[in-house]
Amino acid sequence: MTTPTPIRVADYRHIVLLTGAGISAASGLPTYRGAGGLWTTHNVAQYATGEALKADPRGVWEFFARVRALIAAAAPNKAHVAIAQVEQTLRAGQTLTVLTQNVDGLHQLAGSSNVVELHGSLRQSRCTRCDYVRTEELSSSPAECPACPSCSACLRAAVVLFDEFLDADVERSAKRALRECDLFLAVGTSGTVSPASNFVRAARHEGARTIYVNLEPMVPANPEFLEIVLGPADVVLPALLGVATP
């Protein structure tokens, strides 16, 4: 594990953190591609594509219902809390934006208010046919696919599947944050899934300091990251951000 030198947060005006599944690992949630990850134990094509949704919406709902049950039992860990604490210390004119690939909502539970959910959220469901959307209470979310109360079509988790496009407003929010960024951290993510894989390049284009935080080095290495800090996010990130977490 790398022992990081704390960042002087006051030196930066617009901080952007890109977070992935690795930041929620200490909360007991599986990553996607690592050892024991969801896509090493489940078939991506069967559960996580638009084609799968068309072919078997009930099976896709039931898969995500199992993931929802895991999230319902999880709580934010020290990495989530550290980010939220930094946001609370910002002076006038400073911003902190979390661009998260996660769909678990743990950043918001920890207290972060400026969160862009790139891939949607399992805490919402929407209709496969009409515009109906509802908040999903994870602890009581049904295991079997419910019908839309508006049009009777199947509901689905409000997440972006592998062959679907990101929401246009979400993309605009991410690009706006990166245009002003002077400190960029990628935490708990391989950084290889588009469009997030392009974020560090956009940050470097703006002259930002770029830091990669993960358990393992990126392979192949991305020269756009100026610094690499290795270790569990819940241990490394509070030290790197210079905050004490309970």
Per-residue buried b or exposed e for 161-197, using 16+ beta carbons within 10 Å of the residue's own CB = beeeebbeebeebbeebbeebebbbbbbbbbeeeebe
Q: Is 30 within 8 Å of 21 (Cβ atoms)? A: yes
Is position 119 annotated as part of the catalytic site?
yes
Pairwise CA distance, residues 213 & 232, whole Å = 8
Give Dmax over CA atoms of the chain in angstroms: 55
Pairwise CA distance, residues 155 & 57, whole Å = 8
| 186: CB partners within 8 A, 6+ apart | 17, 18, 19, 20, 199, 200, 210, 211, 212, 213, 214, 225
- Read off the amino acid at residue 147: A
Q: Which two tokens stand for residue 165?
A: 């496009």
- Read off the amino acid at residue 40: T
Strand residues in 118-182 grouped as ranges (E): 120-127, 133-135, 155-159
Nearest partner of 23 among 215, 195, 182, 243, judged by Cα: 215
| 168: CB partners within 8 A, 6+ apart | none
**Catalytic member of 80, 107, 119, 205:** 119
Residues with catalytic roles? 119
